[in-house]
Amino acid sequence: MTRPLRLAINGASGRMGSALLDLLGADDRFTLVHAVVAAESAHDGRPVFPGAADSLRYAHEWSHAPAIDVVIDFSGPTGLAAALDHCQIHGTALVSGTTGLDAALEARLADAGKRMAVLRAANFSLGVAVLTRLLREAAAALRAWDVEIVEAHHGRKQDAPSGTALALGRVAADARQTTLERAAVYHREGRTGERNDGSIGFAVVRGGDIVGEHTAMLVGMGERLELIHRATDRSIFARGAMQAAYWLAGREPGHWQLDDVIATPR
């Protein structure tokens, strides 16, 4: 595609939306044509980022949106549902990092893949996508080795283990033809006895301002393989979402993954 992609951001006033806006000013692959914020946002009526076209303003909904090639969504379930309505009508590609969806919205997204290209991820780090691929291959090749996943985040994080750590665990379990529900060990304290063969252990570190670190350890007799990803800047997630949007625009309908993005660069 010779012209810049026409991009819309859903959730433009949130943390990820703001990170996307910060990056877009220097990215000539995109032209930002629509930015949706929550109704209570104080940004209404102002340009989205320095240097934006004078006609571009924040909006609270999709009814007057111009032609769009791809939407990046980091909003919430309600915001995602509204964006999905628009994308289905126009066949617009959708990249979404929104989580916490109920069964009804999950079903709508699953069905939407018949008519539009959809790419969803809980973590848009391209490095984590590569880590996931490597872990899948290693867990399948080293089936007798023990798997342990260690993650570290800042002290304000509310959940443990992290969603990314759990996703890594699922990949390892799937590679060994089992499920995380069967294999996971989340707590070790006191006299736990010997490690169960085939289990996948988790360890959690919380403190300071750690952006995010994930280590997948495969431990054999006399040797150990460690696959490590360390995030030092939260902008990596916005960069990954933009790369996914650039890759997804113009794709045929279906559900795509970050693994597809790194496997076939555009």
Three-state DSSP string of the chain = CCCCEEEEEECCCCHHHHHHHHHHCCCCCEEEEEEECCCCCCCCCCCCCCCCCCCCCEECCCCCCCCCCEEEECCCHHHHHHHHHHHHHHCCEEEECCCCCCHHHHHHHHHHCCCCEEEECCCCCHHHHHHHHHHHHHHHHCCCCEEEEEEEECCCCCCCCCHHHHHHHHHHHHHCCCCHHHHEECCCCCCCCCCCCCCEEEEEEECCCCCEEEEEEEECCCCEEEEEEEECCCHHHHHHHHHHHHHHCCCCCEEECHHHHHHCCC
Q: How confident is the model at residue 260 (pLDDT cuts 50, 70, 90)?
A: very high
Average pLDDT of span 32-52: 62
Average pLDDT of span 35-39: 82
- Considering only CA atoms, which of 82, 105, 125, 85 is closest in space to residue 232? 125
Q: Where in the chain is the domain with CATH 3.30.360.10?
A: 126-231
Q: Which of 23-32, 56-65, 76-85, 192-201 has the lowest mean pLDDT?
A: 56-65
**Model pLDDT, residue 40:** 61
Q: Is 111 exposed, middle or buried (0-12, 13-18, 19+ CB in 10 A)?
A: exposed
> What percent of the chain is modeled with pLDDT above 70?
92
Contact 6, 66 (CB under 8 A): yes
Q: At what angle do helices 77-90 and 103-112 cross, to 10 degrees?
A: 20
Matching CATH number, 5-124+235-263, of 3.40.50.720, 3.30.930.10, 3.40.50.1000, 3.40.640.10:
3.40.50.720
CA distance 91 to 87: 5
Q: Over 90: is that where the pLDDT of 82 sits?
A: yes
Pairing state between β 146-153 and 212-219: antiparallel
Q: Over 90: is that where the pLDDT of 14 sits?
A: no
Tell me the per-residue pLDDT of 147-167, one tens digit each, with 9 for 90 and over.
999 999 999 998 899 989 999
CA distance 101 to 257: 18
> What percent of the chain is modeled with pLDDT above 90?
78
Active site residues: 153, 157
Average pLDDT of span 226-232: 97
The topology (CATH level 3) of 126-231 is Dihydrodipicolinate Reductase; domain 2 (3.30.360)
**Model pLDDT, residue 53:** 44
Average of per-residue pLDDT values in the chain: 91
Radius of gyration of the chain (CA): 20
**Model pLDDT, residue 125:** 95
Q: Where in the chain is the domain with CATH 3.40.50.720?
A: 5-124+235-263
Q: Rounded to two decimals, what is the model's pTM? A: 0.82
